[in-house]
Amino acid sequence: MSALQTREVRRAASKPKPAAPPRRQKPLRGNLWVGLLALPAIAFFVVFAYLPMVGLVVAFKEFNVADGVFGSPWNGLDNFRYFFSSGEAGRILLNTLLLNTLFLAATLGAGITLALMLNEIRGRFFKRVAQSTIFFPYFVSPIVISIILQVLLAGVGGSGGAVNDALAGFGLPTVDWYTQPGPWPWILTVVKVWQMGGYLSVIFLAAITSIPEEVYEAGSIDGASRAQMAWRITIPLLRPTAAVLLVLGVGRIFYGDFGTIYAIVGDNGTLFPTTDVIDTYVFRSLRQLGDFGTTAAVGLFQSVVGFILVTAAVLIQRKYAKESSVL
Which of 279, 296, 288, 300 has the alpha carbon at shortest distance from 72? 296
Q: Which of residues 63-102 bind other proteins (CB under 8 A)?
A: 65, 68-69
Provide the phi-psi class of 179: left if phi over 0, else alpha when psi is between -120 and 50, else beta.
alpha
Per-residue binder mask for other proteins (CB under 8 A), 172-211, x = binder: ----------------------x--xxx--xx--xx----
The β-bridge partners of 86 are none
Per-residue binder mask for other proteins (CB under 8 A), 155-174, x = binder: xxxxxxxx--x---------
User: How far apart (Å, rounded) are the C-alpha atoms in residues 168 and 249?
Assistant: 38
- Kindly determine how many residues on this chain lie close enough to bind other proteins according to the rule CB under 8 A: 117
Query: From the CB of 220, what's the least distance to other proteins, in Å?
Result: 6
Query: From the CB of 105, what's the least distance to other proteins, in Å?
Result: 18
Q: Which of residues 122-141 bind other proteins (CB under 8 A)?
A: 122, 130-137, 139-141
Q: Which of residues 204-263 bind other proteins (CB under 8 A)?
A: 206-207, 213, 216-217, 220, 225-227, 230, 258-259, 262-263
**Inter-residue contact 201 to 291 (CB < 8 Å):** no
Using a 10 angstrom Cβ sphere, with 0-12 exposed, 13-18 middle and 19 or more buried, the burial of residue 138 is: middle
Q: Which of 54-62, 92-100, 169-177, 269-277 is the region at the interface with other proteins (rule: CB under 8 A)?
A: 54-62
**What is the DSSP secondary structure assignment for residue 285, as one 8-state letter?**
I
In the bound state with other proteins, the residue whose beta carbon lies nearer, of 104 and 196, is 196
Which of 255, 238, 243, 236 has the alpha carbon at shortest distance from 103? 255
User: How far apart (Å, rounded) are the C-alpha atoms in residues 225 and 203?
Assistant: 25
Host H or E run for residue 264: helix 258-265
Query: From the CB of 266, what's the least distance to other proteins, in Å?
Result: 6
Q: Which of 46-54, 88-96, 100-108, 173-181 is the region at the interface with other proteins (rule: CB under 8 A)?
A: 46-54
Does residue 151 bind other proteins (CB under 8 A)?
Answer: yes
Does residue 117 bind other proteins (CB under 8 A)?
Answer: yes
The β-bridge partners of 66 are none
Q: Which of 85-93, 96-104, 175-183, 276-284 is the region at the interface with other proteins (rule: CB under 8 A)?
A: 276-284
Query: From the CB of 290, what's the least distance to other proteins, in Å?
Result: 10
Among 1, 19, 20, 49, binds other proteins (CB under 8 A): 49
Does residue 321 bind other proteins (CB under 8 A)?
Answer: yes
Among 23, 47, 318, 319, binds other proteins (CB under 8 A): 47
Query: From the CB of 51, what's the least distance to other proteins, in Å?
Result: 6
Enumerate residues 6+ apart whose C-beta is below 8 A from 133: 198
Among 96, 189, 274, 302, binds other proteins (CB under 8 A): 302
**Inter-residue contact 60 to 75 (CB < 8 Å):** yes
* CA-angle at 66, arms to 65 and 72, nearest 5°: 75
**Inter-residue contact 234 to 208 (CB < 8 Å):** yes
In the bound state with other proteins, the residue whose beta carbon lies nearer, of 20 and 65, is 65
User: How far apart (Å, rounded) are the C-alpha atoms in residues 45 and 51?
Assistant: 8
Cα 56 from chain centroid (whole Å): 23
Q: Determine how many CB atoms are found less than 10 A away from the CB of residue 38.
A: 10
Q: Which of residues 25-44 bind other proteins (CB under 8 A)?
A: 30-35, 37-42, 44
Query: From the CB of 279, what's the least distance to other proteins, in Å?
Result: 8
